[in-house]
Amino acid sequence: MRNLLFLIVLIARTTLLFAQESNMNNAEIAELKAMINETSKATNTIQSNFTQYKHLDFLSNDITTQGRMAFKAPNMVKWEYTEPFKYSIIFKDDKLTINDSGTKSNMDLGNSALFKKLNQLIVNSVKGNLFQDSDFTMSYFKSPNYYKVIFIPKDEKIKSYIASFILFFDKKKADVMEVKMVEPTNDFTRIVFNDRLINKPLDNEVFTN
């Protein structure tokens, strides 16, 4: 009986969760795009803490890491992981720099059209301005607390790395609350932002390893 009750509650909660999301109509989509584009254009710097959840099917629990993200227009992004290990990734001027606890490596993304495109996706996803990109099929959803946009790449090479991008936007400020990247294997990475600071002074030295 206890197991049956648990199953009923689980189904009810799952049904309620999905019932809270609904498709957006054309007018709502146009309004959302305008709001996000306006926010994106007005954003010069972003500083935020984040929690990352890496889901792998063969593991019982997600791998959780924490850190800090910094963005400076037009194209500098730093992901600095602080817990449970120290690791940083910098995207700057079509170059990727990695610092793995003092061991550094570099990659010129400009030499590869594919990796250059992936870099653009990462930079744009931080600001939320992927809407002008014709390389995606997009689906729009709303809930009482957020907007959700699913981006599915049309390019097969990109799709071999990322099956879909999912962005969650705050309904009041149109800021990116969460980024979800789904791999072709259905494993995925969720990055949830918190304590976000917009347009605060940010020195270029932050984007050096």
66 beta partners: 51, 83
> Could you report the per-residue pLDDT of 166-201, keeping only the tens digit for each?
999 999 888 999 999 999 999 999 999 999 999 999
Q: What is the pTM of this model?
A: 0.83
Q: Which residue has the higher pLDDT, 51 or 37?
A: 51
Q: What is the DSSP-derived secondary structure letter of residue 154? A: S
pLDDT tens-digit map of 150-169: 999 998 988 998 999 999 99
pLDDT reported for residue 158: 87
Q: What is the pLDDT of residue 16?
A: 41
**Bigger pLDDT: 15 or 145?**
145
Residue of 55, 126, 61 lying closest to 89 (CA atoms): 126
61-118 confidence digits (pLDDT tens) = 999 999 999 999 998 999 999 999 999 999 998 889 999 988 999 988 877 777 777 7
Tell whether the model's pLDDT for residue 144 goes beyond 50. Answer: yes
Integer Cα distance of 90 and 208 in angstroms: 7
Q: How confident is the model at residue 12 (pLDDT cuts 50, 70, 90)?
A: very low
pLDDT of residue 94: 83
Residue ranges and CATH numbers for the domains of the chain are 23-207 (2.50.20.10)
Question: Do residues 68 and 41 lie in contact, with contact meaning Cβ atoms separated by under 8 Å?
Answer: no
**pLDDT reading at 19 higher than 50:** no
Q: Which residue matches tokens 């199953």?
A: 7
For residue 20, give the 3-state DSSP assignment. Answer: coil
Which pLDDT belongs to residue 14? 43
* Percent of residues, the chain, with pLDDT higher than 70: 90
The whole-angstrom separation of Cα 127 and Cα 115 is 19
With a pLDDT cut of 90, the percent of the chain lying above it is 64
pLDDT at position 70 is: 96
Confidence band of 3 (pLDDT split at 50, 70, 90): very low
